[in-house]
A and B are shown apart, each in its own frame.
Chain A
Amino acid sequence: MDARSIGTRRCGTRVSSLPWGAGRILAVMIAGLALFACSNDPYPDADQGRKVLYTSFIQAPRTLDPAVAYTTSAHAVTANVFDTLLEYHYRKRPYELVAGLARFVPKATTWADGRVAYRFAVREGIRFHEDECFRLSQSDGRRTREVVAGDFVFALMRLADPEVNSPIKSSLSAINGFDAFGVRLTSMRKEDESFAKLQPHEQYVRVGGMDGVATISPLEFEIVLDKPDGQILYWFGMPFTTPTAWEAVAYYDGNDGRDRLADHPVGTGPYYLAVYDKQYRYVLQRNEDWYGRTTVAPGTVFPSEGEPHDVADGLIEPEYFGKQMPFLDRIEFRRERESIPRFNKFRQGYYDNGGIIKESFDAVIQNDRLSEEMATLGMKLDKVTEPSIYYIGFNMDDPVVGREGGDRSRKLRQAMSLVINMDEYLKLFTNGRGVPAQSPLPPGLFGYDDTYRNPYRQVNLQQAKALLRDAGYEDGIDPKTAKPLKLTFDAGRTTSQDKLRYQYYINAWRQLGLDVELAATNYNQFQAKVRRGAYQIFTWGWIADYPDPENFLFLLETSKARSESEGPNSANFKNPKYDKLFWAMKDRPNDVERARLIKEMLAILEHERPWIELYHNEAYILRHAWLKNAKPLGLSYPVYKYLDVDPGERARLRLAWNAPVTWPVYALLVVLIAAVVPGVVTFYRERQ
């Protein structure tokens, strides 16, 4: 019997013909031994010395269509398959946009009528990935073509197309004629059946394009905004606005055995999607044709300038400065549905990076640092403060805590803000992961001041009690009822774990003598309550769409108020002075004046206290020492072109960490013999 059939891959042992029973037993034993002698390496041997990055995914994204994809799992692919006109500087914080496919970051030109224009100049010689959707070229026999300005315009039109259903459609409506284009398209499709049957690019041409988007020359285009929008350029740093080939959209329609566009991205990026098996694995292979291999540009050469401390912290290796990217040949994504095996494979060295699972948090992190066991394995821990804010909000429309109460309510809010101890809270509930918030702005954004300490976000029970006395609630007693002031805290989660967190706030307020009642309902009921305006105090969070302070400060602007427009300003905070500063700040470039405006806005929030800012979430990411340049971006775009691995070191450590444990086999053998011998002895004795 051939031991190979047991299922080992590399180790076969042939067993000579032996008498039936003994032979069978011996074969099984040897096969067992062979199994243990083999390695548990899940990857082919041939890849061992290669520059391959191994990572995992839980669930394949629903779509990779650049106009639609808006999830972390999709960005892992789209951020590397597609290039963007602008890119985030890899090493600088606060975030800075640099030129990608564009030759330079365009400046806004304001026209006499108040409209604003941006002119993009596209680099020469950018080619799409080779793909069967393109025509065979007669000159070099390849299926690709050069990118022209029209491909960017086509991408913008797709974003405006209601049938594409892009999640960022409303964010680009400042472009002149953007919404009108979608409306015209819909009505044409409804009226004319033959029109509706045309390919998208033919439809777009027939509809007549967008007023505010024009190609100037084959490599230049201009967008015109009806009104200034300081955030518009951020959208050109995301895969949404990547050049899109009309050939790909027309070809990959899912008919006649062709893929859907959602599963078959055709881009220009440093990698192309070589294998896409949603159930098991996908592979990004290096694009030998990438423009960056011959062009020196901010997006193609490893940046030598940036935060100095990232080199000192070991996040960035100086030897890569000025080198042409990318460094990795291939990126392998393997599907791992369960968190524990995923973490175990990371620990065995078969994944290069990984998150920390709850089950082993205390084994990995001790006293907010890597545990000794992990540190000796050479693992590195990166803490990324996500551009997010969690807060407790007051409904400013409420007569007790809101603006109607004037000074009395303001002092109540200030007092309530003064007793929430975030350091303690984070220690108790998040294993210390998080940065106590002083204002809505998280670290890493323009306007964030490291030294700023909000006087109402420091714990001070005495001052809080004094404020409450001034407000007329001596010891928390409501003069109207002569009983402790009754307030309601509305929350959208009902598990015991979450209730403990809410109870923490309530206990803190109870020190002031306030009787806060918890009304925890499920999330849908909570949202319904918020829609009705039937809430007093609530807790919520916000994660940034793009790294601009505007994306946080707009949460407290009047026109975004829940009671005005169903907007995200759930605190219904309406302050004319704040609004004025907000509109002045919104579209300014990041300069001294903008910093001053933001500071003034934060001062208003500090005094008025529509929010009790709680914390900015912190993600802990583990990686192995052989993974180089893994500076976390914080935004959800893993950009693999900057990364590198040391495959020799990896192979060495994998071997060292996965030494087979053989004693159980011998132990088993002994037990087996001990079990069989008495039987054999009895058998022979009875025979005689």
Chain B
Amino acid sequence: MHVISNIIVLALVAGAFALVQAVRGNRLWREALVELWRRRRISIVVLGLFVAVGLLDSVAWVGGAGSGTGDQVAASKPRSLIDRAFAPESFREVSYSAPFADIGFYDDAALEHPGEHILGTDILGNDVFYRTLKGVRVALLIGGLTSLIVIPIALFFGVSAGFFGGRIDDVVFFVMTVLASIPSLLLLIALIIVLGTGTLQVCIALGVTGWVSFCRISRGETLKLREADYVQAARALGVSERRIITRHILPNLTHLVVITFALLFTGLVLSETILSYLGVGLENSWGQMIDQARNELSRTPIIWWNIAGASIALFTLVLAVNLIADAVRDILDPRTLRERQ
């Protein structure tokens, strides 16, 4: 499992490099990126940090250094760079301790690592900061992977339905209506019970329930674009349908794709939180942390750091992605582009 994950990371990094190279050759994209950096410097840095943590947590191997104090069980399992940096098997306490505390929460006993737990420790004594960082990968995986499944499918069906109309439109629209009329949370839970609880299964379940809205938007936009003057002109000149779609329809949908990606991404990360709350979420996710911590808020004295760690991380990631997507949309939308110049 960890070998596949390593290969995927490698592929992602290579793909990112290739993309950067390709973009540098294109004047339009290069200017767009420069404009984006000018507008959303902080958000990009924050998102970059999240992605870096996610990638570091995905590179894992068995054996090697950093296994804490001779924990054989840990040494026999693949551990990521984040795991190695923290050595969570030895970097733990008996139970709760407040952020930067020197003593335990319950019994005032001295901690093993006084003052080192930035976000305190949870009920089992695990470092909350470490758990928060572990949640980054799950969130990116849920958001990213599902969006990558959903967007192509939604775009394909939406554009086909909108552009060709007729029977294709009827079928696609019928499927969409059926899915939209089932309460999505119930469908989600039913799918997860059938498919089982794994990362891929949860992604698929979220994908099945998530593609409808974007499909509807892209179909509507395509219907509008189909009747645009330049498309009519291209038709009259005898340009093939395939070419019309790739030259005229898809580029004009780009801003929609970007904004949908952002909304979808943040929505999915939040959905996973709800799933965890219902007991069908993923291990090590922020949702699970929040769910475990829900009773802690009603304690006196209150234990806030567990829920705070996960919530702040969740909030920061969602906000950064939303801000970036907003700027990207402004930059890429042909209409606002014209206004700007």
Contact = CB atoms under 8 A, between A and B. Distances in A.
A91 B312 CA distance: 56
Contact of B279 (A494, A513, A514): A494
Interface stretch (A23-31, A358-366, A657-665): A358-366
A476 interface: yes
Nearest to B193: A522
A483 B299 CA distance: 41
A484 B72 contact: yes
Contact of B76 (A484, A494, A495, A497): A484
Given A358-B295, A363-B300, A500 B124 contact: yes
A496 B276 contact: yes
Contacts of A358: 295, 298
B35 interface: no
26 contacts: A358-B295, A358-B298, A359-B298, A362-B299, A363-B300, A427-B95, A427-B106, A428-B124, A475-B70, A477-B72, A484-B72, A484-B76, A495-B279, A496-B279, A496-B288, A496-B291, A496-B292, A497-B291, A500-B292, A503-B124, A510-B73, A513-B71, A513-B72, A513-B73, A515-B73, A515-B76
B94 interface: yes
Contacts of A515: 73, 76
A62 B107 CA distance: 46
B123 interface: yes
A496 B293 CA distance: 9
A497 B292 contact: yes
A554 interface: no
Contacts of A362: 298-300
A477 B72 CA distance: 8
A130 to B, nearest CB: 50
Contacts of B123: 428-429, 500
B295 A476 contact: no
Interface in A417-438: 424, 427-429
B299 A424 contact: no
Nearest to A362: B300
Interface in B135-186: none
Nearest 7 A/B pairs, CB to CB: A362-B300, A496-B291, A513-B72, A496-B292, A515-B73, A484-B73, A495-B279
Interface in B291-305: 291-292, 295, 298-300
Could you say which of B95, B123, B291 has the most chain A C-beta atoms within 10 Å of its C-beta?
Answer: B123
Contacts of B71: 510, 513
A348 interface: no
Given A495-B291, A507-B124, 7 more contacts: A362-B298, A427-B106, A476-B72, A484-B72, A494-B280, A497-B295, A500-B124
Nearest to A514: B73
A543 to B, nearest CB: 24
A483 B76 contact: yes
A427 B105 CA distance: 12
A496 B295 CA distance: 11
A495 B288 CA distance: 9
B73 A504 contact: no
Interface in A133-157: none
Contacts of A500: 123-124, 292
Interface string A91-131: 00000000000000000000000000000000000000000
Interface string B61-101: 00000000011110010000000000001000011000000
A524 to B, nearest CB: 11
> Interface SS of chain B: helix, strand, loop or mixed?
loop
Nearest to B96: A428
A358 B300 CA distance: 12
Q: How large is the interface on B (under 10, 10 to 19, 20 to 34, 35 or more residues)?
A: 20 to 34
Interface residues of A, number: 25
Contacts of B124: 428, 500, 503-504, 507
Contacts of B291: 495-497
Interface in A468-523: 475-477, 483-484, 494-497, 500, 503-504, 507, 510, 513-515
A260 B206 CA distance: 51
A424 B109 CA distance: 13
Contacts of A484: 72-73, 76
B181 to A, nearest CB: 28
A363 B263 CA distance: 42
Could you say which of B73, B124, B279 has the most chain A C-beta atoms within 10 Å of its C-beta?
Answer: B73
A495 B197 CA distance: 13
Contact of A428 (B73, B95, B276, B292): B95
A362 B73 CA distance: 37
A494 B291 CA distance: 12
B94 to A, nearest CB: 7
Interface in B90-139: 94-95, 106, 123-124
Nearest to A503: B124
Contacts of A496: 276, 279, 288, 291-292
A507 B300 CA distance: 27
Interface string A187-211: 0000000000000000000000000
A498 to B, nearest CB: 9
Nearest to B107: A427
Nearest to B278: A495
Nearest to B300: A362
Nearest to B125: A507
A507 B298 CA distance: 26
Interface string B256-300: 000000000000000000001001100000001001100100111
Nearest to B289: A496
Interface in A358-411: 358-359, 362-363
Contacts of B89: 510
Nearest to B299: A362
Could you say which of A359, A424, A513 has the most chain B C-beta atoms within 10 Å of its C-beta?
Answer: A513
A429 B124 CA distance: 10
Contacts of A494: 279-280
B272 to A, nearest CB: 13
Contacts of B70: 475
A218 B292 CA distance: 64
A504 B126 CA distance: 11
Nearest to B89: A510
A475 B76 CA distance: 13
Contacts of A514: 73
Interface string B295-321: 100111000000000000000000000
Contacts of A363: 300
Nearest to B293: A496
A359 B288 CA distance: 21
A475 B280 CA distance: 35
B61 to A, nearest CB: 16
A503 B88 CA distance: 14
Contacts of A503: 124
A152 to B, nearest CB: 49
Contacts of B280: 494
A510 B76 CA distance: 12
A427 B299 CA distance: 14
Contacts of A497: 291-292, 295
A496 B277 CA distance: 8
Given A500-B123, A500-B124, A475 B72 contact: yes
